[in-house]
Chains A and B, each alone.
Chain A
Amino acid sequence: MTTSLPTCLETSHKKLAIGLLACVFGGPLCHGQLGHGAEPEVRFNRDILPILADHCFTCHGFDPAGRQAGLRLDTRAGALTELESGARAVVPGDLAASELWARVSSSDPATRMPPAEQGRGLSSRERELLRCWIEGGAPYEPHWAWIAPVAVEPPMMAGVTEPVDRFIRDRLAREGFTPSPPADRITLLRRVSLDLTGLPPAPAEIEAFENDPRPDAYERVVERLLQSPHFGEHWGRWWLDLAHYADSDGYLQDFLRPVAWRYRQWVVDAFNRDLPFDEFTGHQLAGDLLPDGGVMARLGTGYLRNTLSNREGGADLEEYRVNQVRDRVQSVGTTWLGLTVGCAQCHDHKFDPLSQREYYQLYAFFNVTDEANFDAPLPGEWEPHQASKGAHDRQRAELVARWGEPLAQLQAEWERMMLRTEAQPGEDFGWDRALELLGLQWGQNLGEGQLEGLNIIKTPPEKRTAAQRDRLLDYFLGAPPPALTARFNELKLAELKAQLDALAKTLPKLSRAPGVMAAPVARPTHVHVRGDYLRPAEPVTAGTPAILPPLRARRETVSNEPGRRELAEWLVSGQHPLTARVTVNRLWQELFGRGLVATSENFGLRGDRPSHPELLDWLAVRFVAQGWSVKSLLRTLVLSQTYRQSSQLRPELLERDPRNIWLARQGRWRLSAEQVRDAGLAASGLLNTVVGGPSVKPPQPASVSKEGYANTWEASPGADRYRRGLYTWLQRTSPFAQLVTFDLPDTSRSCSRRERTNTPLQALTLLNDPVFFEMAVALAARVTREIAENDDARRLERAWRLTVGRRPTPEERDRMLASLTQQRELFAADPAAAAELLPPGSPPVEPAWVTTASVLLNLDEFLERE
């Protein structure tokens, strides 16, 4: 994959080599050119591919529609093939016979490549690289992302110690940029607080940091933030985008999922205790299969429960089960592999080496994974439950025994008919409907799995757990099909049902949580012709794509389980070329505004190439070596000088690097939907900082939920109105308006990058939404309370501190004081308005201060992380 460069770049371009090449190649070539005698090398992915991609692929690439002269250079076979003209673009080792070389080195504008109208021609250095590459045998490399990362030594940079900075500064120097100076202390503190916990720093924290003379003051702040319980809330929300979490089913009736929050809680806790990412992965994909996992690991499988459920009558259960499996495959593809595997659902992937067959091999891992909730007691629930359980079970057994064999026979017949109807539908409407309802209604108001009832029936009675037996009997007694109604009445089973229900009330409940179970009966996987599940083709078994490392053999555990646990282990094996890179890239994206691979959801051939490939690999290798610790990686990143730079936009950077690819400055961007809310609540002192618990419903106009089907929105009482945005109930068909206005992603698919728009609706929300106006009142009251003397300037300073962290400049202060005066005049002239603004019961505060506080909560600087 590498080729020697004995003399290529030595003679004619010595000056260039020293001035430019020395910087371009941080590695061996550089040393060679500087006469250190090391072996210089040309790497295809690093050196040649960018030239071909930038200059050649438009006409000589993948796309046959735009291809000129029958030449494609994106594959070695294409480059070497004999063209219509009889020439060959590349003859390995033979420069004179290579038409490509003749064209790029031609001085005749008529034949020279790339053509003049393509714009920028090749630089002399690029030509030299092509020459060396051809002479060295023109080797190609596989797509970079299929090759496992190898850490290279960070470039040596005088005065730069952190490896991250050495990679970044080296590249900056080569691009001719200078890094920005460090951000001032307050900006840095606000930035790192928002980035690590999602919350702005409190005034006391700002003052402490400003006045901390110790050399490691910043390191101490970072440590404090990493240990904060709010760390997990912020990074948990980041993960929930990928998991596409919500609190309801989606589809027509959009039933509630009252226990979905247990998964969210598990995610928050996992980030707070820095659960290593490999275990984090294992629990989510296979927590139910881990021998020593227990409830904590099983809670992770709530990840697999974020797919939508259709419970509308007439819905084909199998169709929507298939959709759920597809969603799981696609989410895993996006989240861990950074690949668009969903493209291969209907046909071989057009760009990436993933065949349709391989897609269904991935699908097979999840094809027997069915939804089922499980007992997951919250603190304090287990003991009282256990204390009553024995007596309850005895009484229940006695009650059921009273109905004896006739009941058992009737239930057995029902079960038999359910299985028969599934195998041969269409024989009898009543039984068809009974089977359908078993799927639609099983635990419908509790967010239970739709196939659980049927799965229990398919489990041989002796293998059913006691809980499964009880649940199935309860369902049967509650929904006898018409064909059995007569016998049901004859046996007076309604009476049994009533008694069992009464008895159940005596048993203290255990909370449930969403999870999965392996279907009790094998469900073979086939390739679906054109993605149509009704057209099964060849059968496939679970497996991973050939382009990626092999999967270890499946353990013999649960007979029908094709190896979800092994899949999880494969993803985090450490040899996998994608998982660690994809993950560190996404963490980077959150801290720098853009991934090293900008398309953080797509590392395939059509994704962006990494801006700093060696840094990406260095981080990926380090992530694995440091035990997949997310906190450790984040610490490395936020302690870098690159992270600590100022985010001010310098004109020359705007001109030459508007997207801030080379990071000569930090990024500046709008806070996320949740952060906007949380920051306002925090500044105004309203924020309820309780961590964890079920979802809450902060107030919003009733009209929002009316857009969904029969959904009402009863605002939570008391302090629950002021919880962090993370805890807001997410109803899929009518999501919380404020969050949507600020770009909460659609909850129906995995999202790897949030959009950040800037719209008039956001302005209306911040100016007029009663929730935000309440924040303004509270902020004004807080400032009035905290600065007791009637001193506008000092109060302004305090308000400034609470919102943007810094002190106002004299001009800003004067402008605000003038505004205060103006607002006072307006309210003095309109006492009715003042009374309306602050009805009886409002905090003691001046109306003009409310509008002033509101201005601060609308400041661009307040809404941005700088």
Chain B
Amino acid sequence: MPTTPSRREFLTHGLHGLGGVALWQLLASEGLAEQAVRQVAPRARNVIFLFMMGGPSQLDLFDPKPGMAALHGQPIPDSLVKAKKSSTGQVLETVMASPRVFHKAGQSGLELSDWLPHTARVADELCVVRSLWCEQSNHDPAQLLLHCGTPLFGSPSLGSWLSYGLGSESQNLPGYLVLLSDDGHGLEGAGSALWGSGFMPSTHRGVSFRNQGDPVLHVRNPPGISRGTQRARLDVLRDLNTRHQQVTGDAEIAARIAAYEMAFRMQTAAPDLLDFADETLATRVAYGLDDAPTRPFGTNCLLARRMVERGVRFVHLVHSSWDHHSDLNGRLQKNCQMTDQPAAALVADLRQRGLLDETLVVWAGEFGRTPMGEVRRGINVGKEGRDHHPQAFSGWLAGGGVKPGIAWGRTDDFGFHVVEEGVHVHDLQATLLHLLGIDHERLTYRFQGRNHRLTDVSGRVVSGLLA
């Protein structure tokens, strides 16, 4: 039996809780993670994942299909109808042309919807992928596939994989933070499973960070406990624990003491993140912090930048809901008004601060929406929606070693199927890991007798997306 403690034991015993040490540095002699991590030169150090929960409509945002205008209201070709079962059991057969206008943006001439005027201003930074696809047409399975590499519950999310593979560089914040916002309909999805650590230790779980109230659960002292009282509590606790370590000889107690000290630092660092006093007026305006529609997502985008500046490895924004089965035009507009400006401001701000090259920004939903209109019973004409559509959808990447100012992949005349350069969700994952310097086939975690991967048994790095 080998006597060196395994990676699993290191992690289980929470050495990451000490902060600041990457797994492969801890375990350089063990080699496995080192091999996985150092296979490729990293282009990005951090990731900001803007997850657009519910499935935004690619046909009205990123993938213009001008030919559909002439066919609006006509039956869609039979072959396409047969390929489809709607999420409400309904048969959708009528073409719904996009009510939106697309414009060429920037020097790259990327075509973007008129509801993304701010995104258009950073078009030259974006790598729009029009050929994303997956097999899952229900929210939870598709969301789990995108985040955890499998449509089933119980597996670690992308952020957990990065925490496991690369460790955390922050001494006073968790390495994986989650920020939530919604359009007033609440979160429509698989919940905390999307940032859960599944079969990995909870050390790698995403920590929910709230932009009001207690940013991290229980980060605030109980009523009546001042910082001085808290410090005094921790001092006596440390002394007693240190003494007990001498009695038991258990080094794990040192790790516990360190965890308490990091908790104490987090009590300052987490609220500090929320204190925007050191941000300029220009920044506030850029992120839309003072306008009601943009404030929630804008606050989260600005927080994301501040987190990345402080060494947080993976910042996970979830904005819900883009599940527009009805009144697509109206609800899409609302969501764009909430998210377009902050997302664009984030990219521009990262660029201006020299952080974009080392930070990968990803914008994607779990699937797209149908070229056919959906008319729910009782919904008036003019309030059509679109149904779930995993066969082809769009998202974008920026920074972190991604080729800027391109549109990748092509869909058919209805945006129904991918016809060129398809990027399966597993391919996207493989590419993201690659950008962080990780070989997706080598980053494995042993659970129930099998070496699991984020990309399961597939995935390929899409070299065309790399700068």
Q: Do A and B come from one complex?
A: yes
A165 touches B (CB below 8 Å): no
A487 touches B (CB below 8 Å): no
Query: How far, in angstroms, from A814 to B228 measured CA to CA in the complex?
Result: 21
Known: A755-B201, A764-B266, A859-B244. A701 touches B217 (CB 8 A): yes
Tell whether, in the assembled complex, residue A706 and residue B259 are in contact, meaning their CB atoms are under 8 Å apart.
no
Tell whether, in the assembled complex, residue B86 and residue A760 are in contact, meaning their CB atoms are under 8 Å apart.
no
A575 touches B (CB below 8 Å): no
Q: Which of B99-107, B118-126, B247-255 touches A?
A: B247-255
| Residue in A314, A658, A741, A859 whose CB lies within 8 Å of B86 | A314
Query: How far, in angstroms, from A644 to B256 measured CA to CA in the complex?
Result: 26
Which chain A residues border B152 with CB–CB below 8 Å? 323, 748
| Residue in A649, A762, A816, A818 whose CB lies within 8 Å of B250 | A649
Tell whether, in the assembled complex, residue A659 and residue B5 are in contact, meaning their CB atoms are under 8 Å apart.
yes
Which chain B residues border A758 with CB–CB below 8 Å? 13-14, 17, 252, 255-256, 259
Q: Return 24 A-B CB contacts under 8 Å, by A number.
A: A251-B140, A308-B153, A340-B449, A602-B449, A648-B249, A649-B250, A659-B3, A740-B205, A748-B153, A749-B199, A757-B12, A757-B201, A758-B17, A758-B256, A760-B260, A763-B264, A767-B218, A768-B220, A769-B217, A812-B240, A815-B243, A833-B226, A836-B223, A858-B237
Which chain A residues border B448 with CB–CB below 8 Å? 334, 340, 342, 601-602
9 closest A-B pairs by beta carbon, nearest first, are: A837-B224, A314-B87, A733-B191, A748-B153, A758-B14, A340-B449, A763-B263, A649-B249, A836-B224
Tell whether, in the assembled complex, residue A733 and residue B249 are in contact, meaning their CB atoms are under 8 Å apart.
no
| Residue in A250, A604, A608 whose CB lies within 8 Å of B153 | A250
A53 to chain B, nearest CB (A): 10
A632 touches B (CB below 8 Å): no
Tell whether, in the assembled complex, residue B89 and residue A433 are in contact, meaning their CB atoms are under 8 Å apart.
yes
Tell whether, in the assembled complex, residue A708 and residue B192 are in contact, meaning their CB atoms are under 8 Å apart.
yes
Which chain B residues border A351 with CB–CB below 8 Å? 449
Tell whether, in the assembled complex, residue A433 and residue B250 are in contact, meaning their CB atoms are under 8 Å apart.
no
B339 to chain A, nearest CB (A): 19
Q: Which B residues, 1 to 40, have Cβ-Cβ distances below 8 Å to chain A?
A: 1, 3, 5, 9, 11-14, 17
* Closest residue on chain B to residue A53 by CB atoms: B1
Q: Which B residues, 417 to 450, have Cβ-Cβ distances below 8 Å to chain A?
A: 448-450
B457 to chain A, nearest CB (A): 8
Known: A743-B201, A758-B255, A826-B229. A735 touches B218 (CB 8 A): no
Tell whether, in the assembled complex, residue B213 and residue A650 are in contact, meaning their CB atoms are under 8 Å apart.
no
* Closest residue on chain A to residue B91 by CB atoms: A429
Tell whether, in the assembled complex, residue A656 and residue B3 are in contact, meaning their CB atoms are under 8 Å apart.
yes
B305 touches A (CB below 8 Å): no
Other CB < 8 Å A-B pairs besides A602-B449, A749-B199, A769-B217, 11 of them?
A314-B87, A432-B89, A709-B186, A732-B153, A732-B191, A741-B202, A759-B203, A762-B259, A764-B219, A851-B229, A855-B233
Known: A732-B153, A758-B252, A764-B218. A312 touches B139 (CB 8 A): yes
Which chain B residues border A640 with CB–CB below 8 Å? none
B225 to chain A, nearest CB (A): 7
Which chain A residues border B450 with CB–CB below 8 Å? 340, 343
Q: Interface on A for B, CB 8 Å cutoff?
A: 250-252, 254, 308, 310, 312-316, 323, 334, 339-340, 342-343, 351, 429, 432-433, 436, 599, 601-602, 604, 606-608, 611, 647-651, 654, 656-659, 661, 668, 701, 703-704, 706-710, 732-735, 737, 740-741, 743, 746, 748-749, 755-765, 767-770, 773, 811-812, 815-816, 818-819, 822-823, 826-827, 830, 833-839, 847, 851, 854-855, 858-861, 863, 866
Tell whether, in the assembled complex, residue B243 and residue A756 are in contact, meaning their CB atoms are under 8 Å apart.
no
Known: A761-B174, A860-B256. A740 touches B249 (CB 8 A): no
Query: How far, in angstroms, from A703 to B450 measured CA to CA in the complex?
Result: 35
A684 to chain B, nearest CB (A): 15
Q: Which B residues, 184 to 204, have Cβ-Cβ distances below 8 Å to chain A?
A: 186-193, 196, 198-203
Which chain B residues border A649 with CB–CB below 8 Å? 248-250
* Closest residue on chain B to residue A654 by CB atoms: B249
Known: A706-B187, A755-B201. A312 touches B241 (CB 8 A): no
A178 to chain B, nearest CB (A): 16
Query: How far, in angstroms, from A816 to B239 measured CA to CA in the complex?
Result: 10
Tell whether, in the assembled complex, residue A767 and residue B217 are in contact, meaning their CB atoms are under 8 Å apart.
no
Query: How far, in angstroms, from A854 to B89 measured CA to CA in the complex?
Result: 56
* Closest residue on chain A to residue B205 by CB atoms: A740
Tell whether, in the assembled complex, residue A826 and residue B232 are in contact, meaning their CB atoms are under 8 Å apart.
yes
| Residue in B9, B12, B88, B214 whose CB lies within 8 Å of A701 | B214
The interface on chain B, measured as residues whose beta carbon lies within 8 A of the other chain's beta carbons, has a size of: 91
Which chain B residues border A737 with CB–CB below 8 Å? 217
B388 touches A (CB below 8 Å): yes
B451 to chain A, nearest CB (A): 10
Tell whether, in the assembled complex, residue B190 and residue A252 are in contact, meaning their CB atoms are under 8 Å apart.
yes
Most central of B9, B87, B259 by chain A CB within 10 Å? B259
B262 touches A (CB below 8 Å): yes
* Closest residue on chain B to residue A863 by CB atoms: B256
| Residue in A314, A315, A859 whose CB lies within 8 Å of B237 | A859
Query: How far, in angstroms, from A351 to B448 measured CA to CA in the complex?
Result: 13
| Residue in B137, B236, B253 whose CB lies within 8 Å of A816 | B236
Q: Interface on B for A, CB 8 Å cutoff?
A: 1, 3, 5, 9, 11-14, 17, 85-91, 137-141, 152-154, 174, 180, 186-193, 196, 198-203, 205, 207-208, 210, 213-214, 216-226, 228-230, 232-233, 235-237, 239-241, 243-245, 247-250, 252-253, 255-256, 259-260, 262-264, 266-267, 388, 448-450
Query: How far, in angstroms, from A450 to B321 measured CA to CA in the complex?
Result: 27
Query: How far, in angstroms, from A649 to B254 measured CA to CA in the complex?
Result: 14
Query: How far, in angstroms, from A650 to B250 measured CA to CA in the complex?
Result: 9
Tell whether, in the assembled complex, residue A710 and residue B449 are in contact, meaning their CB atoms are under 8 Å apart.
no
Query: How far, in angstroms, from A839 to B138 measured CA to CA in the complex?
Result: 49
Which chain B residues border A763 with CB–CB below 8 Å? 256, 259-260, 262-264
Which chain B residues border A858 with CB–CB below 8 Å? 233, 237, 260
Tell whether, in the assembled complex, residue B224 and residue A658 are in contact, meaning their CB atoms are under 8 Å apart.
no
Query: How far, in angstroms, from A734 to B195 measured CA to CA in the complex?
Result: 11
B180 to chain A, nearest CB (A): 7
Tell whether, in the assembled complex, residue A310 and residue B224 are in contact, meaning their CB atoms are under 8 Å apart.
no
Which chain A residues border B139 with CB–CB below 8 Å? 252, 312
Which chain A residues border B217 with CB–CB below 8 Å? 701, 703-704, 737, 741, 761, 764-765, 769
Known: A433-B90, A764-B218, A812-B240. A599 touches B203 (CB 8 A): no
Tell whether, in the assembled complex, residue B256 and residue A708 are in contact, meaning their CB atoms are under 8 Å apart.
no
Which chain A residues border B240 with CB–CB below 8 Å? 812, 815-816, 855, 859
* Closest residue on chain B to residue A601 by CB atoms: B448
Known: A310-B138, A755-B201, A757-B203. A866 touches B187 (CB 8 A): no
Query: How far, in angstroms, from A816 to B42 measured CA to CA in the complex?
Result: 50
Which chain B residues border A830 with CB–CB below 8 Å? 226
Query: How far, in angstroms, from A734 to B250 measured CA to CA in the complex?
Result: 34
A184 to chain B, nearest CB (A): 11
Which chain B residues border A657 with CB–CB below 8 Å? 3
| Residue in A312, A316, A651, A659 whose CB lies within 8 Å of B249 | A651
| Residue in B174, B199, B235, B247 whose CB lies within 8 Å of A746 | B199
| Residue in A323, A611, A704 whose CB lies within 8 Å of B1 | A611
Which chain B residues border A837 with CB–CB below 8 Å? 222-225
Tell whether, in the assembled complex, residue A743 and residue B202 are in contact, meaning their CB atoms are under 8 Å apart.
yes
Query: How far, in angstroms, from A192 to B460 measured CA to CA in the complex?
Result: 52
Query: How far, in angstroms, from A501 to B267 measured CA to CA in the complex?
Result: 55
Which chain B residues border A313 with CB–CB below 8 Å? 87-89
Which chain B residues border A823 with CB–CB below 8 Å? 229, 232-233
A453 to chain B, nearest CB (A): 16
Which chain A residues border B205 with CB–CB below 8 Å? 740
Tell whether, in the assembled complex, residue A314 and residue B88 are in contact, meaning their CB atoms are under 8 Å apart.
yes
